[in-house]
Amino acid sequence: MPRKKKSGSVGDKAAKPKPSNEPSTSKTAPERTESSAEPSTSSQKPEKSTEKASSSPSKDSKESSKEPSTSPSNDGKEPSTSNGASASASTSTTSASTSKQPERVPFNTLDLSEPTLRALKDMGFETMTSIQAKSIPVLLAGKDVLGAARTGSGKTLAFLIPAVELLHRLKFKPVNGTGIIILTPTRELALQIFGVAKDLMAYHSQTFGVVIGGANPKAEVDKLSKGVNLLVATPGRLLDHLQNAKGFVYRNLRALVIDEADRILEIGFEEEMKRIISILPNENRQSMLFSATQTTKVTDLARISLRPGPVHVDVDKEEATSTVSTLSQGYVVCSSDMRFRLLYTFLKKNLKKKVIVFFSSCNSVKYHAELLNYIDVPVLDLHGKQKQMKRTNTFFEFINAESGILLCTDVAARGLDIPRVDWIVQFDPPDDPRDYIHRVGRTARAGKVGKSLLFLLESELGFLRYLKDAKVPLNEYSFPAERIANIQTQLEKLLQKNYFLHKSAKDGFRSYLQSYASYSLKKIYDVNKLDLAKVGKSFGFATPPRVNLVVGPGGGKGNQAKKRKRNEDGSESEDVLEPLEPEGTISGEEGDENVVSRGGNRREKQRRIETLGKKRVEKEIFRKGREQKQQRQGGVQWSR
């Protein structure tokens, strides 16, 4: 009788598992398609397009979409949602035309083991999505795959099912060590994949585990020494264990999976990935690389990690839009001083919904979470400054909640499968259309409906052109000013009375400007064009504080911005630190202009000299103290 087992068992010696014959594969059925008429807008007119539905294996979605119009005569309620909630814009109805859909391929047509089929049935999956139908037979045949699929397409099962089947066929045991390694960019995504693997392997005897930054490394080493057949990991922690964990048996590795490869490289793990691939055995190793975008770096990574002649699987290249048809997308244009008031009004009227709000920095998330909770809008927050235990608890609390609001950075933008999300709000706009697509991918997953709202300043409307080029259809939402809660005076008084909230607001204000200055699209996101008095009001300041940040030429994101992204997976701060040599100072006080700090380099040089002088003095004091201690203990007498 199949039995459930714990993720880890004791073994003391590694032995080579016996290879077995490749399983037979079945032909895949034609993909399911769904056509929908996109609503027209005043600013953009996306063409009617045919969409491929990336829906749940068990349900179909056939709903007419309601989109807010840009008419000035609307009543100011919130944009309407699929269940008839209140809206902040007037709506016009467009019916979705659907064509007859070919049947999807059931999992039981594949040559899968009984434990896997039983687990899939318990998980509620009976038929395959497009990416699964194209990838699983190829991977079961033992070939390498370079895959590309939009978010929410069922990619996780596309590589987990072949991986688990490989362990089952080879009869892996804990004593054999690790046979499958799955690499992901963030801790939360690693935990999510681990959770899916746990369900999928419920009736298998093989062991599984996860190693991530922020967790206890000694406990992880103990698990690895006992034998973890399927291992989910983040790159930094895996490399550390490969180099230092003596009991980690990985010489029998049979498959390497790299998920969200583009994101792994974006946040600065390129060197770690090269070192990991050079350490891992490549003999008889099957590799699977999945990436939402095919960049030069991803191509280079594929060249060193995959065997020659991999199978390319791309289910999106013929799609008319980059997002799923069940997602209603819109944007709103408002001035800087109205941004928080509009967000507050929106969240207050959607307390019974499940909403994710994206910010550009950890400090901004932290401040807005403290503020909203203080003024009776309960929210959760998730960002890179939190301890791992806090991040994990918050992540699973929001997953299990029927309703709620999550404030987060882009740490939650990629790969995470959070059920029943009604709204995605991008309070701080992304720097790249790809980031936008991944953010909105947290809703309308597996055929469900969802809505998104993008906040833009008047000066940021040029970003819509980039979204249009990326095949992202948006409508303009209208929010009349008289319908927005007038809480500015109360907000300013609150910050004046509450020292800790004032300090948090200052940190958030500084981080917002630093993040804005690091954007690569300088023509759209120009920090010098911001009205700092209005930005300060959005953070609750009557008169904004002064902050320092790099404003010099350079165009793209610098090392500090890269460090901020890298730390999404680490335990350190995500926010940019105060620059050592500021090229410019921005004043938050009204009437001030951007001024270049005169003598800044000279003062910094003097500060460094003083610091080095103090270190020399401290070193000399330490040396003399050590000599005196040795003399008292009858040690060696040093000559003067």
| pLDDT one-digit tens code per residue, 462-480 | 999 999 888 888 999 988 8
Question: Is residue 295 classed as helix, strand or coil in its secondary structure?
Answer: coil
Decide if 554 is inside a domain: no
Report which residue type is found at 101: Q
For the whole model, what pTM was predicted?
0.60
- Specify whether 328 is located in the same domain as 222: no
- Specify whether 88 is located in the same domain as 116: no
What is the tens place of the pLDDT at every residue in 52-63? Answer: 333 333 444 333
Decide if 32 is inside a domain: no
**Alpha carbon distances (Å) from 225 to 178, 230, 254:** 10, 13, 18
**Close Cβ partners of 253 (under 8 Å, ≥ 6 residues apart):** 178, 179, 180, 181, 280, 281, 285
Decide if 404 is inside a domain: yes
d(CA 601, CA 603) in angstroms, rounded, equals 5
Q: What pLDDT shows up at residue 148?
A: 84
Average pLDDT over residues 238-251: 95
Whether the per-residue pLDDT at 460 is higher than 70: the answer is yes
pLDDT band, residue 292 (cuts 50/70/90) = confident
Mean pLDDT of the residues in the chain: 77
Q: Which of 136-150, 462-476, 494-508, 622-636 has the highest mean pLDDT?
A: 494-508
Decide if 557 is inside a domain: no
**How far from chain centre, in Å, is Cα 372?**
23
CB 399 within 8 A of CB 408: no
Decide if 143 is inside a domain: yes
Question: Is residue 451 classed as helix, strand or coil in its secondary structure?
Answer: strand
Identify the bridge partners of residue 65 per DSSP, sorted by sequence position: 94
CB 481 within 8 A of CB 339: no
| Domain end residue (candidates: 314, 343, 360) | 314
- Specify whether 134 is located in the same domain as 277: yes
| Domain end residue (candidates: 314, 338, 365) | 314
d(CA 20, CA 171) in angstroms, rounded, equals 9
**How far from chain centre, in Å, is Cα 623?**
49
Decide if 384 is inside a domain: yes
- Specify whether 473 is located in the same domain as 496: yes
- Specify whether 352 is located in the same domain as 474: yes
Decide if 239 is inside a domain: yes
Question: Is residue 178 classed as helix, strand or coil in its secondary structure?
Answer: coil
CB 289 within 8 A of CB 305: yes
Q: What pLDDT shows up at residue 571?
A: 38
**Close Cβ partners of 389 (under 8 Å, ≥ 6 residues apart):** none
517: its two tokens: 């200055």
Decide if 50 is inside a domain: no
- Specify whether 149 is located in the same domain as 81: no
CB 54 within 8 A of CB 65: no
278: its two tokens: 């050079």
- Specify whether 299 is located in the same domain as 330: no
Identify the bridge partners of residue 419 per DSSP, sorted by sequence position: none
- Domain with 488, as residue range(s), is 70-96+323-544
Backbone angles phi, psi at 50, to 5 degrees: -100, 125
Crossing angle of helices 362-374 and 499-517, in 10° steps, is 140
- Specify whether 294 is located in the same domain as 370: no
CATH number at residue 535: 3.40.50.300
27: its two tokens: 């032909």
pLDDT band, residue 624 (cuts 50/70/90) = low
- Specify whether 266 is located in the same domain as 349: no
Dihedral angle sign, alpha carbons of residues 578, 582, 584, 589: positive
- Specify whether 404 is located in the same domain as 514: yes
Question: HEC profile for 11-36?
Answer: CCCCCCCCCCCCCCCCCCCCCCEEEE
- Specify whether 349 is located in the same domain as 457: yes
For the sheet containing 230-233, what is the strand order?
Answer: 208-211, 230-233, 180-183, 255-258, 286-290, 145-148, 311-314
- Specify whether 79 is located in the same domain as 142: no
| Domain end residue (candidates: 258, 279, 314) | 314
In DSSP notation, 347-373 reads: HHTTTTSEEEEE-SSHHHHHHHHHHHH
Q: Total structural domains in the chain?
A: 3
Higher pLDDT, 501 or 7: 501
Radius of gyration of the chain (CA): 27
